Amino acid sequence: MRWIRRNVVVVAGLLTLAYMILPNLVVMVFSFNKPKGRFNYAWQTFSLDAWKDPCGVADLCGSLTLSFQIAVWATIGATVLGTMIAFALVRYRFRARGAINSLIFLPMAMPEVVMAASLLTLFLNMGAELGFWTVLIAHIMFCLSFVVTAVKARVMSMDPKLEEAARDLYAGPVQTFVRVTLPIAAPGIAAGALLAFALSFDDFIITNFNAGSSVTFPMFVWGSAQRGTPVQINVIGTAMFAVAVLMVIGGQLVGNRRKKAATP
Amino acid sequence: MTATAAPPAPPTPPVTDAAVRKVPRRKRLVPYWLLLPGILWLLVFFALPMVYQASTSVQTGSLEKGFEVTWHFQTYWDALQEYYPQFVRSLLYAGTATVLCLLLGYPLAYLIAFKAGRWRNLLLVLVIAPFFTSFLIRTLAWKTILADDGAVVGALDTLRVLDVTSWLGWTADDRVLATPMAVVCGLTYNFLPFMILPLYTSLERIDGRLHEAAGDLYARPLTTLRKVTVPLSMPGIVSGTLLTFIPASGDYVNAELLGSTDTKMVGSVIQSQFLRVLDYPTAAALSFILMAVVLVVVTVYIRRSGTEDLV
């Protein structure tokens, strides 16, 4: 009891962590289930069927591919546009900076459903056909602000003297940008791009409004919650989780090796 | 969440008019060219839609005959009268979830920032990793966890907790699913990382020696927390609550998947009006009211918490 009282923060923190991880564990365990009926909510018997055949449900892998395509293009679009804005905001003084800053902040401070609904009214008024393109446009729009903030944070902490030094050593503007500026800003740009990819891949509300009859992966999961959830959804969820954890561990190992190599 | 991770802007040297004039015209236009595509994108696909929505909200007509702007502000009043329970519920649920997120998230952020030592990176990964499984799949997992004959409900029932919560109106009929408690539980779960990460970044910046100093001055741990740690982590608390409250107030996924018709939030109403009922004016008016309410709540909150420089 005394130990608990002294370590109350540790206990409370770990309990919160358990609360956060619990659903992931449930998703993992239920990926080995063999459900009776259409819904995979109660444990029946152990089975590897779903793992053997992850694409065995109609439209599931098609929706994954669509989500992936949209996320890749949205990431490219948002990262390019966002990086340009971030550089302009940090490196230059000009009129209307305040207005532009609020224009970038607002999409992050708006309930998603409001943005989703207003975009839909725009598309309806324009008579645009809802589908791949409207979803892509919407995703680039809401990822943009996040990329700008991520890149801005990095560019702000950059030392402008490094670029001056490059110029003193007779590097042209292009050379300076490619050889000095870009490599230093790269972690910020990468963070922004990763965030954009994750946001786009997982977005449901904005896609729900603007996708028409296209079905992305989150929309497939949403639909399956009403029609019946195939075990394959748990398999995909578990695989995503595993890939992410492996990527983080791999990144850490590479980072450690680099650190070791850097210290003689 | 990265909005708060950004370090404060370093002071930039003042640019005088003379200095600006010396720069050739071609170079002076560089920032505008850099901004043009992105800002145009936001103007066309973020700002302009708001205008269209405003115009839609004062239209009358029907899907067959077409809609026309008639400055029919009555729609706002009608929408509010019909859907104010959903509005109140949304703010109530989002507010409760935000408070719960703060109560649950603060210890974990504190643990990672001050007590984790070499486990720090692992714990951070464990906070972010659940993100990678689609949030819809994770929300569906709560259906399993809170199932009527599941362990959680059984334990709560044995401990007589369900009697209390039923009396309070949070649960009903010895079940948790399809009650307010399930929806708030889902909301809290979904937005916890948005609370923890800003809290962590602001806690991490606190100098640990301040805690020692407080201890040397005979402050008890709770006093140190109240007078040193919490005030210094205020920016994290403010941005964490905003990042939780704003998206939670418009969310309809948790209410739809874990709730029932009695727990519908305003997001569900907007969604069904837009995509099923196709009553565009009412839907647009509702979404405008939601935006206005959120902006007012957020502005008042930021003013009162005294960290205006945050945004």
Asked if A121 lies within 8 A of B6 by C-beta distance, the reply is: no
Interface of B with A in 59-118 (CB under 8 A): 104-105, 107-112, 115
Q: How far is A25 from chain B (nearest CA, A)?
A: 9
- Which residues are B67's β-sheet partners? B61
Structure-block tokens of residue B75: 């729609």
Contact of A27 with B141, CB cutoff 8 Å: yes
Q: DSSP labels for chain B? A: -HHHHSPPPPPPPPPPHHHHHHS-HHHHTHHHHHHHHHHHHHIIIIIHHHHHHHHHHTEEEETTTEEEE---THHHHHHHHHHHHHHHHHHHHHHHHHHHHHHHHHHHHHIIIII-GGGHHHHHHHHHGGGGS-HHHHHHHHHHHT-TTSHHHHHHHHTTHHHHHHHHTSSBTTB-TTSHHHHHHHHHHHHHHHHHHHHHHHHHTS-HHHHHHHHHTT--HHHHIIIIIHHHTHHHHHHHHHHHHHHHHH--HHHHHH--GGG--HHHHHHHIIIII--HHHHHHHHHHHHHHHHHHHHHHHHHHT-GGG-
Q: How far is B164 from chain A (nearest CA, A)?
A: 22
Structure-block tokens of residue A133: 């393109």
Structure-block tokens of residue B4: 């708060």
Work out the widest C-alpha separation in chain A, in whole angstroms: 73
State the pLDDT confidence band at B311, using cuts at 50, 70 and 90: very low
Between A109, A225, A237, which is nearest B133 by CB? A237
Asked if A113 lies within 8 A of B110 by C-beta distance, the reply is: no
Asked if A234 lies within 8 A of B125 by C-beta distance, the reply is: no
Tell me if chain A has a CB within 8 Å of the CB of B37: yes
Percent of chain A with pLDDT over 90: 53
B215/B211 Cα distance (integer angstroms): 6
Contact of B203 with B109, CB cutoff 8 Å: yes
φ, ψ for residue B177, nearest 5 deg = -60, 145
Tell me if chain B has a CB within 8 Å of the CB of A254: no
- Residue B17: the pLDDT is 52
Residues on chain A touching B23 (C-beta within 8 angstroms): none
For residue B33, how many C-alpha atoms fall within 13 Å in the half-sphere facing its CB? 6
Residues on chain B touching A233 (C-beta within 8 angstroms): 137, 140
Contact of A166 with A176, CB cutoff 8 Å: yes
**Element counts in chain A: helices (H) and strands (E):** 13, 0
pLDDT digits (tens, 9 = 90+) for B27-65: 778 888 999 999 999 999 999 999 999 999 988 877 777
A105/A166 Cα distance (integer angstroms): 34
- Residue A263: the pLDDT is 62
A167/A179 Cα distance (integer angstroms): 11
pLDDT digits (tens, 9 = 90+) for A191-207: 999 999 999 999 999 99
Report CA torsion sign: B282, B284, B288, B294.
positive
Query: Which is nearest to B204 in space by CA: B227, B231, B236?
Result: B236
pLDDT digits (tens, 9 = 90+) for A159-178: 888 888 988 898 888 888 88
Structure-block tokens of residue B208: 């640990």
Span B156-168, mean pLDDT?
Answer: 87
Q: Nearest chain A Cα to B29, which residue?
A: A94
- Residue A262: the pLDDT is 66
ipTM (interface predicted TM): 0.89
φ, ψ for residue A15, nearest 5 deg = -65, -45
- Residue B306: the pLDDT is 66
Tell me if chain B has a CB within 8 Å of the CB of A221: yes
Letter string b/e over residues A51-64, b meaning 16 or more CB atoms within 10 A of that residue's CB: eeebeebeebbebb
B173/B153 Cα distance (integer angstroms): 11
- Residue B5: the pLDDT is 46
Tell me if chain B has a CB within 8 Å of the CB of A240: yes
- Residue B2: the pLDDT is 40
Q: How far is B114 from chain A (nearest CA, A)?
A: 10
- Report the amino acid identity of residue B58: V
Tell me if chain A has a CB within 8 Å of the CB of B129: yes
Question: Mutate which of A121, A134, A157, A248 to disrupt the B interface (most B C-beta within 10 Å)?
Answer: A121
Q: How far is B212 from chain A (nearest CA, A)?
A: 16
**Average pLDDT of adjacent 10-residue blocks, chain A of 264 residues:** 80 94 93 86 85 86 95 97 94 86 90 94 92 96 94 88 88 87 91 92 95 94 89 93 84 74 64
3-state secondary structure of A220: helix
State the pLDDT confidence band at B23, using cuts at 50, 70 and 90: low
B157/B163 Cα distance (integer angstroms): 8
A19/A7 Cα distance (integer angstroms): 19
Residues on chain A touching B257 (C-beta within 8 angstroms): 225
Average pLDDT, chain B: 86
pLDDT digits (tens, 9 = 90+) for B94-121: 999 999 999 999 999 999 999 888 888 8
The answer, yes or no, to whether residue B4 has pLDDT greater than 50, is: no
Asked if A121 lies within 8 A of B284 by C-beta distance, the reply is: yes
Tell me if chain B has a CB within 8 Å of the CB of A36: no
- Residue B255: the pLDDT is 94
B187/B181 Cα distance (integer angstroms): 10
Q: Nearest chain A Cα to B140, which residue?
A: A225
Q: Nearest chain A Cα to B283, which residue?
A: A117
Tell me if chain A has a CB within 8 Å of the CB of B241: no
Total count of residues recorded for chain A: 264
Tracing tokens 């002294």 back to the chain, one arrives at: A6
Tell me if chain B has a CB within 8 Å of the CB of A119: yes
pLDDT digits (tens, 9 = 90+) for A208-240: 999 999 999 999 999 998 888 899 999 999 999
A24 contacts: CB under 8 Å, gap ≥ 6: A237, A241, B129, B130, B133, B138, B141
What does DSSP assign to residue A109? G
What does DSSP assign to residue A178? I
Contact of B183 with B257, CB cutoff 8 Å: no
Asked if A237 lies within 8 A of B287 by C-beta distance, the reply is: no
B276/A89 Cα distance (integer angstroms): 42
Is 0.80 topped by the overall pTM? yes
Interface of B with A in 191-210 (CB under 8 A): 192-193
- Which residues are B61's β-sheet partners? B67
Tell me if chain A has a CB within 8 Å of the CB of B7: yes
A171 contacts: CB under 8 Å, gap ≥ 6: A179, A180
Asked if B145 lies within 8 A of A22 by C-beta distance, the reply is: yes
φ, ψ for residue B62, nearest 5 deg = -140, 170
Between A219 and B310, name the one with better pLDDT: A219
* Cα A164-A166-A168 angle, rounded to 5 deg: 70
- Residue B3: the pLDDT is 44
The answer, yes or no, to whether residue B139 has pLDDT greater than 60, is: yes
Asked if A205 lies within 8 A of B250 by C-beta distance, the reply is: yes
